[in-house]
Structure 1
Amino acid sequence: MMILKLVSHFIILVIWFIHVQVSAQDYPHAPVAKPGCDSQCGDLQIPFPFGMNASECYLGKWFEIECRNTSTYQTPYLKSIELQVVSIDVQEGTVTINNPIYRNNCGTKDPTPVNRSLEGSPFVYSQEHNKFVAAGCDIIALLQINGSEGSGCVSICDEDLKVDDIGKMELKNSNCNGKSCCQNSLPAYLKEYSTEVKGLKENERDGECSYAMVVQEEELNPYEWDYVPQYSSYTPKGYYFPVNGEMKDLDVVPVVLEWEILNSLNLKLPPDDLSHCFDTNITSSLHKRSGQRCSCPDGSGNPYVDGGCLGKYKKENIDMVKYVGVSTSFGSIILLLILWRVFKVTKKIIVKKFREKFFKRNGGLLLQQKLSSGEANVDKVKIFSLKELEKATDNFNSNRVLGKGGQATVYKGMLIDGTIIAVKKFKVQGKIEEFINEFVILSQINHRNVVKLLGSCLETKIPLLVYEFIPNGNLFDYLHQQNKDMPLTWEMRLRIAIEVAGALFYLHSAASQPIYHKDIKSTNILLDEKYRAKVADFGTSRMISIDVTHLTTVVQGTFGYLDPEFFQTSQFTEKSDVYSFGVVLVELLTGQKPVTLLSQEEAKSLASYFIMCVEKNCVFDIIDERVMKEGENNHIMKVVNLASRCLELNGKRRPTMREITLELEAIRKLENESNAREGHDEFFRSKDYQSWDDNSIISEIMSTFDLSSRMTILKDVHTVTM
């Protein structure tokens, strides 16, 4: 990792060095404003003869810029006419301002006065860069000069055009050819104007909303112009209005003013051989020379200040700059290619080393040992790459989280073939034994009510396990946040209890070695697309040798489900799983949570509360209403008695999972017979939930092994339990 950082830092250093070298060869900074004067307001550079603050920084009041401050930015205004400045071009002799537009009958927005007089100023509205534009239906728009018509245009609309459509029009995308929008040129030497909009026909559309304005027009780049005549050496120019937004939202539009240095201003032009000055008559048609303008021969710089034109320096150094730039860039590209190749090769080596390191750290050697000893069966599991799982989970996006536990987070993902998966990402380093334990146990389990392991990934700092995706969440959420469209009926509760009991019976008795789950609870019981139970989370489970009856270990479990005997002795047996299952059974009966917080200092255990109600003969007071409504009292009482036996404090008095499964199946059989006698056709019986009365899970598992010797015929187990 350190080598990768050094290479990347070196590449960044080379790029920075190239930038510095090229910048060093660039042209010297040309003065924009007079010495000691500010030349920046917000994002706009203020060149002389424009200026700010002190009077010596600008050429008379007409060129004064006021830089107005807000909480977040600065905005320049041409103080003489109180309009915002957008840009200044001393070479072209233009300044672009934001000019108000005229509205007529446009709702709450009143017409904005636009009569901004430029009389006596060095400015005129540019005839070359602006147009008079109007938008509306069946209108005549007039631009008037001292009460006389100076320009105008006519705009008509289709009959089906709504007035609102004019407001939604975007000027930037309109050619204003007379349909809904029209345009005309400005008169020369325009210094003051007013606008008037009238209906095309008397009393027709006279009161509808319309707009009129003087607005900047820009020439389209040839690549932006749609129409290019074929077989023609002449391509006419295209134009557009640089205005963003719908018409109804506009208050101002850009307008270009041309300017000159009036004779009356007596500007002493800099004695610079590079600048070129010439006579102009921009502001008056009465005189051949009303002022002066200057420019730099190469088209850049400010000819109105000393040293503002740098053309000679550029001409002498441009070849050197090009040569240095091209040579440096070419050499840098070759160097970068070499470094990139070294980086790629180095990265492969480092990644390989890290993967080997992670493989060992994540228990790869321990896993190999278990595989060689036959403890784990990986014929049906896959080793996933990290890249594959990152793509499936959108780089383990937090939006993909299905659930979080003490040691791991589970993410939803989708493989390239469309398979939906659940990826378990362990949180804490040093818990590798839980990862290996879960992998080894699940690789040997093949039961329809146990979540299926699809594979694992050992290439990461924290190991990953990949399971089949179980879509309907866990039993806890489904039980305590019931959906009215799919309520948890008595039949469903009984079936889920049988499925969980059958899975635990299989783990305790029918697997190649007995497996104690050690953390049975409703959150670890998932529900698939048909609401079949799937036992999950085998991180703390243990495989027990046949001649061992209990296992001494650190006390682990979930409060509310934890076997009191295990808590006292730290000895976990199969009867500890029975106690936890008993709590789940009580949850199904009562619909209550395993632990209820009465206050910050006191909590009520559902198991102890249930036993107390059984002893006081008031258990029906806490049974769920739906259970009481749908089940028969004697059948409910059989389940109550079974649950109370599971919750015996003395583990030896508790039934085995085999006995529990048999009793639950018998109770469901009685329910089915009772429903048949009563002629109820509402009993839910899907072909996916065939009754186990004729094909009992007990008889299936019994046929695969000798209970007295607990020896399993392994080749048949996976067939029977599918």
Structure 2
Amino acid sequence: MKSRRRESTIRGTIGGAKGMTNIIGELVLMYQLLVMLFTTAAEELPACQRVCGDVEIPYPFGIGPPHCFREDGFDLTCSKTNDSRGYKPFNGNVEVTNISLASGQVRIYNAISWQCYNKELAHRTWVLDLNDTPYRLSNISNKFTVIGCDTLAYIGGRKNEIDLYESGCVSMCRNGIIPTNGSCTGIGCCQTSIPSGLSFYNVWFDAKFNSSDVQDQEFNPCSFAVLLEEDQFEFQSTYVTKLDFYSNNGWPVGKAPVVLDWAIGNETCEQAQRNQTTYACISDHSHCVGSPGGHGYLCNCSSGYRGNPYVHGADGCQDINECDDQRPCAETATCTNAPGNFSCSCPPGTHGDPQKGGTCYPCPPGTHGDPQIGGTCYPNNKLSLTVKLVIGNYFLSMPSNKQRMLMRVKKRYFQQNGGWQLLHEIRSNQGLAFMIFTKEELEQATNKFDKSCVLGHGGYGTVYKGILTDNRTVAIKKSKMIDERLKKEFGKEMIILSQINHKNVVKLLGCCLEVEVPMLVYEFVSNGTLFQLIHEKSHRVPISLDLRLKVASESAGALAYLHSSASPPIIHGDVKPSNILLDDNYTAKVSDFGASMLVPMDETQCATLVQGTCGYLDPEVLQTYHLTDKSDVYSFGVVLLELLTGKKALYFEGSKDEKSLASTFISAMKENQLLQLLDGQIKNEEDMDVIQAVAELANQCLNFRGQERPSMDEVAEKLDRLRKFKLHPWVQHPEEIERLLEESSNYRETDTTRHYSLEKIAALDIESGR
């Protein structure tokens, strides 16, 4: 589809022989005709349909003539479904079930591909082509899902004509064993992830794998494959014993929900704002944000406003009246709404705490309040002895001067650290599980920050183990200082960080703002740090190469998520083993993400102008004083070296001089002396191909020039695939691993997998359910 434009042109000829009066008369007539024409056109402009069935259609989407939607791709039709569900919105032949402006996502129904065996093999597969549209398949929300017995299904896609992707998933059935409901682990059901940015998707089955061997058993002879929304899927055993997944899954027959990311154009916010004619964020109180899908941009309403940021007027971003919607003040207080904000105050004649959870008290006998302004009580001038005694007893019952002073100090810190803004953000983001703790709550949780509760400490401050009143165990980070320039933005940063949701990233639960330096409260991770696992004798246990690859792969995936999927992207700034925590299953969890907000008081000989830790700091940063995502890549390269060698980033060996592990490693690689540097626990000739590949990857990460280092997405992908090689010992060809390492992150798995036998495909490309 191409953009369409309506143009109206009036052509007139003014002859040179006509008099001036006639010329003026014709000009007046033409002007009147133009006014009549455009007035009529405006009056006849049809209203746009904004609801179809039970689905709202907000602009930039639209149904009807071109003025109802922004551009091709956002135009929908309202059509009757083939079943009895009535009218629904469609984009082409694809049914749309939900449109979200805030998250930049659209939910549609995706066709389920199938393969059945009944004496002979039959199949039907589907293609979803999103090229030249505003949409991309969401890699965060969707999983490629395969249902069936002895089934191998592939998913292929591309980001553009060059970047190709191909992977697969295998689902097996064991004789007489019915899979468990809710479990998708490779028995009857498997799932695998997709990369970000895919604009094309198709499915096909491997005919060598089919259900012919189970057709006479209790399993059904059909297999199914589809990309679907992970949160909307729960495996049922009847999906492999009957045809329920296709025809009785709660969705239309043969369909499953899938999430698409959408965005405006292909420009960044900075580029789009240069052309105000085409810039989409036209509502007052709106702003531009980068698209989570990686292409184009989205528009959001500013904090304290809601509505449609893509339109003007009453349907655009409007002030939220928090006083009516959320009742944010104490019951006895007065709430005053303001544009994008609100305030709480005690009514005239009262005093106290007007905020939610507080109380406003009447002024005591013998005092009076301001008739117009609440919150303060003044003594009367003439008081009887009895009244004076009453007032004296009243003030004796109040907190001491010292306590009142402490309360004022805590309120001042709360305000300085962005507390009111944070409260407002929490109230504006319904369902946000983020807590603001009092100093007393955290003191109680840590027995007043007793030394026995210390989990770790360093230049940045101290981390304590705490137990909250609801018996949750948490980690409390008590930093030493904060950059004064960032205090006002602290609340906003907390909201951003609290929305990070990844299985390999430590969850931020809340903070305390009524102290000089805010304290952060994280989920508690039980098994110490990677630093302790590798380097401390009390924790030192044999560490297999499998475990090292697992921790490396999971940590890289977490950093790649922070760089590419978080909105806005987050640079860690201090990647090191002590910031990689381990749970009881040795699952890695990256902590201290976004730590660039908290500036540590450096106690080492490292330069204090740049944040980071000696031995891990990107040498390019020492020149530019500017952290980038490639700075994290360099630091992670050092972490890989520690996993390979068992040595610290800065270590002593046979002399009093401190050595840099990165420098020693680079020299060893140049001189082909890697073996001498390796940890003795992993010097295994059978594993040397994988170890060599990891070492080459670390070497790339340590490149002095940041632009020549791989991205964290590329590092995570390569480590994940190397880990799969290690898990499947029958794939042991050095040339295959070398080719794997040389591949870029464009997901050209078709170039690699087509050279392997079926068994090797299973090792390289097939992810049994996770």
TM > 0.5: no
Q: What TM-score results when the alignment is normalised by the length of structure 1?
A: 0.43
Task: Write 1 or 2 for the structure with the bigger share of helix.
Answer: 1
Tell me which structure has the larger Cα radius of gyration: 1
Q: What TM-score results when the alignment is normalised by the length of structure 2?
A: 0.40
